Amino acid sequence: MRLNKPLPRWLSFERMSPALLSGLILFAASFLTDIILSWIGTPAQARIFNHMAIGIIGALLILFFLSASYENQVYARAKERMRLIAEMNYRIRGALSLIEQSATLDDRDERLRGVDEAVRRIDVVLTDFLPSVGTATEQHGSFLH
C-alpha cells in the first residue's frame, strides 16, 4: 500500500541521516566493546564503563553534528547577505549614475526628471528590495555584532 501524503519534514533523509549514522556508530561501538569485554573475561557488572563510554561517544557525535550544522547555517546566512549587498550596490549605483547623467543636462526640467527617477529607483530598492521591517531589525542587529 502506497502513501498518498508525503512524509513529514522531520522524517526527510537530510534530517534522519545524521541520527541514523549516529545510531549505527553507537550500535557498532557498543557491540564491539561488549564482544571485546566478554572475550577478555570482564564481569557484566564492570561493563558499566562500556556504557559510559558509549554515552560519551553519543554526546560527542551530537556535539559534532550540532557544531557543523551551526557553522553551515552561519555560512549560508553570510552568503545570502553578501548576495543582497551586491544586488543592492548594483541597483543604487545605477540610480546614482542616472543622477550623474542628469547633472550634465542643460534643461532644468529634464535634470529634475532624471533626479526624480533616480530617487524613485533608490526608494524602490530601499522599500521593496530590502527585507521587511521585522527581518530588517534582526539583520541590522546581526550586522552590528
Residue 134 φ then ψ, to 5°: -60, -45
pTM: 0.53
Judge whether 120 lies within some domain. Answer: yes
Judge whether 2 lies within some domain. Answer: no
* Neighbouring residues of 126: CB distance < 8 A, sequence distance ≥ 6: none
pLDDT computed for residue 135 by the predictor: 52
Judge whether 4 lies within some domain. Answer: no
pLDDT computed for residue 141 by the predictor: 46
Q: How far apart are CA 50 and CA 29, in angstroms?
A: 9
Count the alpha carbons within 13 Å of 142 in the hemisphere toward its beta carbon.
Answer: 10
Q: If we measure between CA atoms, which residue out of 19, 48, 47 comes closest to residue 35?
A: 47
pLDDT computed for residue 145 by the predictor: 40
Total structural domains within the chain? 1
Judge whether 16 lies within some domain. Answer: yes
| pLDDT tens-place values along the chain, 145 residues long | 565 777 676 667 777 787 788 888 888 888 888 888 888 888 877 777 777 888 888 888 888 888 888 899 999 999 998 998 888 889 889 888 988 888 888 898 998 999 899 999 888 888 877 765 445 445 444 444 4
Domain that holds residue 37: 11-144
Judge whether 1 lies within some domain. Answer: no
Judge whether 6 lies within some domain. Answer: no
pLDDT computed for residue 1 by the predictor: 52
pLDDT computed for residue 23 by the predictor: 82
